[in-house]
Chains A and B, each alone.
Chain A
Amino acid sequence: MSPADLLLRDHRNEHLLFAGRLVFALLAMVVLLAVLVWRYFDLQVLRHEDFVTRADRNRIHVRAIPPPRGLIFDRNGVLLADNRPGFTLSVVIERAGDLDALLATLDGLIDLSDAEIERFRQLSARRRPYEAVPLRYNLSEREQSLLAVDEYRLDGVEVSAQLVRHYPHGSVLSHVLGYMGRIDEQELKRLDPDAYRGVYTIGKTGLERFYETDLLGTPGYEYAETNARGRVMRALERIEPVAGQNLRLHLDLRLQEAAYEALGGERGAVVAIDVRNGGVLALASAPGFDPNPFVTGISSADYAALIESPDRPLFDRATRGQYPPGSIIKPIFALAALDSGVVTPATRIYDPGFFRLDNSAHRYRDWKRGGHGWMTVRDAVVESCDVFFYQVGVRLGIDRLHRIATAFGLGVETGVDMPNESAGLMPSREWKRGARGLAWYPGDTVNTSIGQGFVTATPLQLAAAAARIASRGEVRVPRLARTLGQSLVPAAPGGDPITAADTAWDAVIAAMRGVVEDRKGTARAALAAMGPMDYSMAGKTGTAQVVGIKQNERYDAARLAKEQLDHALFIAFAPVEAPRIAVAVIVENGEHGSSTAAPVARLVIDTYMATHAEVAGLE
């Protein structure tokens, strides 16, 4: 081979090698391009629908429009719960730059709490890009102006308006209306997320809670096309929210205020009921509290102060306070005794100042040392003779006592339209065996017959019982709501009326009138001291022991601390001829029903008579 041939062969080899490598590269490229084409085919054709949904979810932003919550009015149309515009501070984190620095700056301006920052961080972990995360609700005007002044250095900070619940009458209605609060984790789990879209608060207590679903309304929606920064480019569709239903109550603010003021700063409760339909005219528990801070988030210091206060302002005494009814129960047992023939109006029982069961040395004392002497049933109610009712109680026996008291609603929830009412307790043999594992002793009957011992009742139950006496046995469920939206709230079925002989009703009601009017009536002096009444009233005083008094001790008010003094109770209804209003009053540690509780009841009834006399015929 010549050198030229060799060179040529080298040249050819070299060319072949190159061509081979190029072909290999070409094949590799074909494979890679095939992968690429497959990937785009997969994304664009096979998974197309999936990505269309994603793209729409990206661009179409659904903003919930919270519905205006239903307003609450009293019977005369006075606004009790209102919605006011409030201002919320929120942060768009993408625009904030250095978030920690921003939070530090905001802290310097409006004092952020650790809890607020913690909640903010939790919320921001779940946000969409460019979504505003709320940091502080209900900015004060001062905070708003502070933020406005420093706006230039607060990138990403937004202040927006929305409706915030407001209670113009504050503590007077705090327990009845209840309050709104932030939806908490547990509520979040059980609530229908669609029904609460854009809604951040929920009724926590009182009527706000009981009528939550009616007051809430239906959220509206706004579909808008937004860009990646959350800016609305154009509105697509808007579905208006439906406002919650307005609630109009039987409650009369004037009575409520009168009742709250009449308690004069004492701990206690007043309940007033319309005898004719069970409508609750007043439901006051004192002391109250300002519910407004709860709506936007009460500070932990303020909340601790409410919790730790010895007056327990958050406790709704009217529907949840369980007190021994004491002598309040006597007219009920008097009715049972008369109706069953255990006593007649003429039956006389001697009161030596104490009562002793057969075969027992234990003396059940009368509140009046030395006793009342000979007593008829009327005298016993008017003067609140204990020994007479010890006798009546023992003669009737616990089964009949339990039956009649239960018929008047003791030991049974009234069914009022409020959450969490207490049932109180009307003891029976079965109850004692079940709850205490003990047999019923005759002594238990003695204590029960004057409303002591195991018996407890809420002020609401006592008012309902008074209304049942006033209406001669009609059983009506107490009701706060009168109309909801455009429709009347139907009365709840109250159950069978309490049947008793007319003479028995006449005697009991006459005796209760005697409590107010007779010379020896336990309430007469205190009520007469307030001036002449231009209407007739029937009532009954009661005193509930807070501490037990030993056999040979005497109750000495001067030696007892205020919180150990007896509770003062009073029930009343008026006018006697055609009762319209029934009232129950309890003043904690008020000592005597006559001197402290009765005047409160009169102030409330006076107010009712003064304001409702003119429309009496119309209702």
Chain B
Amino acid sequence: MSRRDFDHQMRERGAAVYGRRSHWLTLHADPLLALLLAALMTAGLAVLYSAGDSDHGQVRRQLVYMVIGMTLMLITAQIPLRLLQRWAWLPYVAGILLLLAVELIGSDAKGAQRWLALGPVRFQPAELMKIALPLVLTAYLASRPPPPRLGDLAVAAALMSVPLALVLIQPDLGTAVLITTGGFFVLFLAGIAVRFLLAVAAVALAAAPMLWLFVLHDYQKTRILTLLDPESDKLGAGWNIIQSTTAIGSGGWTGKGWLQGTQSQLDFLPEGHTDFIIAVLAEEFGFVAVLGLICLYALIILRGLAISLGASSMFGRLLAGSITLTFFIYVFVNMSMVAGLLPVVGVPLPMVSYGGTSVVTLSIGFGILMAVRSETGRRG
């Protein structure tokens, strides 16, 4: 089957499935992805209501963030890929400048400078980097003949190191890791030779002790050590892990019921409405709900991979693929750290944790996915 036939058939089938395909195509929206996101966000709002002490204001604010996010998603979906590729450096440079601004005028939160206040809006420039870096890397690598050569890798490494350094000074280990991972996914999908991958892995291993000795702050080291033995510091860093695993484990198969989780309702669970929100879900709705949530995420990821695979340009493929993989990493890191599998780093649960920056950034990512998807349909 020729590629042309394939595309044709895809469109025919899509039309059969969606019926009024013209409207969706005009919107450049992907209905399946939109449906999955809607389900995810609805579930997220219900858990947030319970996690945030039935605070209507908080749920309403999150709803506003979601509306803003969805709007931005649709706007992003309209951008032609060629334009995105040409202007990819713009968000990257903006992101670097904002990170520099944080260093100079940012506000403190728990010993780390992460926030930037623009009038009434406060946001974390590091979040923007999570989109901007894969974008600029993809744009660069897509403009080069595949697979990437050593020179390309050097450029990519340079592009990655600047924001990485700025995020590490803040310091925000979690975001740094996620940014690196995102960039790494781009290189991986672009077809970087396996020997380079091994070399990168070796460098990373060699760098770990240096990181431990010179870069990591004490509180970050504590978090890592605590993971190994939560009981060693019951009242300090271990408290979070002990309380979150207790919340999860006491949920059982079907949970204690909405608003009935003792760990979350009686404030034993820290950060229940933000990073640890999965523990609230697990406690009140049980393993069944956790499984359901994981399925929802898996479907979104599969959809993202499908979009990536079906993209007609190298740029689109790489972009969609790396965004999807990064999304997976968010989910995996968050759910693992709350369950005590990974050190506690500040990673929210995508589209469920309370927080505007995260919702907006992720939405833009999904908007890019949709842009890639609509490009697929347009090329005949």
Binding site for B on A (CB under 8 A): 14, 17-19, 21-22, 25-26, 29, 32-33, 35-37, 39-41, 43-45, 47-48, 50-52, 54-56, 58-59, 129, 225-229, 233
Contacts and interface: CB of A to CB of B under 8 A. Distances in A.
B283 to A, nearest CB: 8
B191 A45 contact: no
A225 B263 CA distance: 11
Contact of B249 (A22, A32, A54): A54
Contacts of B253: 44-45, 48
A52 B250 contact: yes
A51 B249 contact: yes
B375 to A, nearest CB: 16
B266 A32 contact: no
Given A36-B335, A37-B291, A55 B191 contact: no
A430 B294 CA distance: 89
Interface string B242-279: 01011111111100000000110011100000000000
Most buried by A among B147, B250, B290, B325: B250
A51 B246 contact: yes
Nearest to A18: B317
Nearest to B239: A129
Given A25-B188, A29-B328, A48-B249, A36 B268 contact: no
B287 A129 contact: no
Given A29-B328, A55-B263, A39 B268 contact: no
B336 A36 contact: yes
A54 B250 CA distance: 8
B335 to A, nearest CB: 6
A36 B339 contact: yes
Most buried by B among A17, A39, A129: A39
A538 B314 CA distance: 124
B282 interface: yes
A45 B252 contact: yes
A129 B248 CA distance: 20
A55 B341 CA distance: 20
B275 to A, nearest CB: 16
B287 A45 contact: yes
A58 B321 CA distance: 44
Nearest to A227: B266
A55 B267 contact: no
Nearest to A19: B309
A48 B309 contact: no
B290 A40 contact: yes
Contacts of A47: 249
Nearest to B335: A36
A25 B245 contact: no
A55 B247 contact: yes
Contacts of B246: 51, 54-55, 58
A44 B249 contact: yes
A33 B235 CA distance: 31
B308 A22 contact: yes
Contact of B266 (A41, A45, A228): A228
A25 B287 contact: no
Contact of B251 (A33, A44, A129): A44
Nearest to B256: A55
Nearest to A17: B191
Given A48-B250, A55-B262, 15 more contacts: A17-B147, A21-B321, A22-B321, A25-B185, A37-B294, A39-B339, A40-B339, A43-B282, A45-B252, A48-B251, A48-B253, A51-B246, A59-B266, A226-B266, A229-B267
Nearest to B339: A39
18 contacts: A18-B189, A18-B309, A18-B321, A25-B188, A32-B328, A36-B339, A39-B339, A40-B335, A41-B287, A48-B252, A51-B248, A51-B250, A52-B249, A54-B249, A58-B243, A59-B262, A227-B266, A227-B268
Contacts of B247: 55
Interface residues of B, number: 45
A25 B325 CA distance: 8
A604 B213 CA distance: 83
B286 A44 contact: yes
Contact of B252 (A21, A52, A58, A59): A52
A17 B235 contact: no
A405 B328 CA distance: 96
Interface in B183-207: 185, 188-189, 191
Contacts of B282: 40, 43-44
A92 to B, nearest CB: 13
Nearest to A94: B235
Given A19-B309, A55-B263, A33 B188 contact: no
Given A22-B189, A48-B252, A129-B235, A36 B332 contact: yes
B253 to A, nearest CB: 6
Contacts of B228: none
Nearest to B298: A33
A86 to B, nearest CB: 30
Nearest to B263: A55
Nearest to B235: A129
The 3 A-B residue pairs with the shortest CB-CB distance in the complex, in nearest-first order: A51-B249, A55-B250, A44-B287
Contacts of A21: 188-189, 191, 321
B262 A58 contact: yes
B314 A14 contact: yes
A233 B246 CA distance: 20
A229 B270 CA distance: 12
A43 B332 contact: no
Contact of B267 (A17, A40, A227): A227
Contact of B146 (A17, A29, A32): A17
Most buried by B among A41, A43, A58, A229: A43
Nearest to B325: A25
Contacts of B294: 33, 36-37
B81 interface: no
A412 B292 CA distance: 82
Contacts of A58: 243, 246, 262-263, 266, 268
B301 interface: yes
B305 interface: yes
A573 to B, nearest CB: 67
Nearest to A55: B250
B250 A14 contact: no
A256 to B, nearest CB: 52
A33 B328 CA distance: 9
